[in-house]
Structure 1
Amino acid sequence: MIDLDETDRAILRALAGDATLSAGALGRQLGLSQPATWRRIRRLTEAGALAGRRLVLDRAALGFGVTVFLGVTLAAKGRVSLEDFERAVSAIPEVQTVQHVLGLYDYRLRVVARDIADFERVLRRRIMTLPGVGAVDANVLLSEERRPGPL
């Protein structure tokens, strides 16, 4: 674990809000020089505190109006390896996240689709045919509150 001071935390907060900020712009915002800001960003990256920068797409604006969370229980955990299931499900473009979880399900998937009919097609033709899939439980996302920022 990396030790963070207030300046490091301010850098993380600023980048979480706008990852496109240059070191110079970020430094001006925080009262640091560009080289000092760059050194801190490099140190945070090398320590693993910054694991990359991500572009956030507006799914609805791109025509993907439905998000469904699926709880997947594997039928026979001994017959199909977890790696086989993970590899197969990760190859489906509509599956945005694959989470191996402990509890009622073996996996939690976030699936996007254009509409409910499109989701049904993805579910029937792609997800239910994956190796080892036993039971699937679906929850349709109605709304989402996002709280941007570091932990």
Structure 2
Amino acid sequence: MLDDSDRRLLRHLLAEPGLPTAALAERAGLTTATCWRRLERLADSGVIQARQAVVNWRALGYEVEVSLRFTLDKTHPRAFDEFLAAAREVPEVIGVETFLGRVDVRLNVIARDLPHYQQIYRERILTLPHINDIEALMLIATIKDSAGLPL
């Protein structure tokens, strides 16, 4: 599906997603027109889903990140749907993931500080529907955070 030029292009795109097409083409060893066509083809095929900005939440004053793992009360037939809909409405929830296994859902929550997190937890998290159990993991350090692939 991908040839060496596609892989090289994707490696450079992942390393610097904000590069203009001409600079990306130069780094990938392609002409600008070829680079543009390949980017379009990769987007049309779903390989590239978006070029996006990565926001440093700490730079905006959010010093706390907590990963909350939920086990839901699955005796209610719409437990997942209702929980997920409510979780999406919490502005401080920056990530929602579902799992198979002991943990059903993980929410990544940011807060300005611990008192702010406590307020979010009490007022917004504990009021989410169908919670059976919660486990909290506070982020101390991010060692590796890469969307890069072994291309």
TM-score where L is the length of structure 1: 0.92
1:143 aligns with 2:105: no
Aligned to 2:54: 56
Q: Secondary structure at the match of 1:24?
A: helix
Q: Is the 8 A contact 2:12 2:28 kept in 1?
A: no
| 1:148 Cα offset (Å) | 3.1
Query: How many residues are matched?
Result: 149
Q: What is the distance in 1 between the residues matched to 2:70 and 2:89?
A: 16
Instruction: Write the distance in 1 (CA, Å) between the matches of 2:80 and 2:44.
Output: 31
Match for residue 78 of structure 1 among 61, 76, 79 = 76
Residues 1:34 and 2:32 aligned together: yes
- Secondary structure in 1 matching 2:97: strand
Question: What residue in structure 2 maps to residue 98 of structure 1?
Answer: 96
Amino acid at match of 1:81: A
Cα offset, 1:77, TM superposition: 3.9
What is the CA-CA distance between 1:29 and the residue it aligns to?
1.5
| Deviation of the 1:116 alpha carbon | 1.2
Q: Which runs of at least 4 in structure 1 moved beyond 3 Å after TM superposition? A: none
Q: How far is the alpha carbon of 1:149 from its aligned partner?
A: 4.7
Shift of the 149–121 alpha-carbon distance from structure 1 to 2, 3 Å rule, reads closer
Query: 1:117 corresponds to which residue?
Result: 115
Distance in structure 1 (CA, Å) of the matches to 2:71 and 2:147: 32
Per-residue Cα deviation, 1:43-88 (whole angstroms, up to 9, x for no partner): 1000100000111111111100011010111134425431111111
Q: Check conservation: 2:73, 2:79, Cα contact below 8 A.
A: no
Partner of 2:136, secondary structure, is strand
Partner of 1:18 in structure 2?
A: 16
Structure 1 unpaired stretches of 5+: none
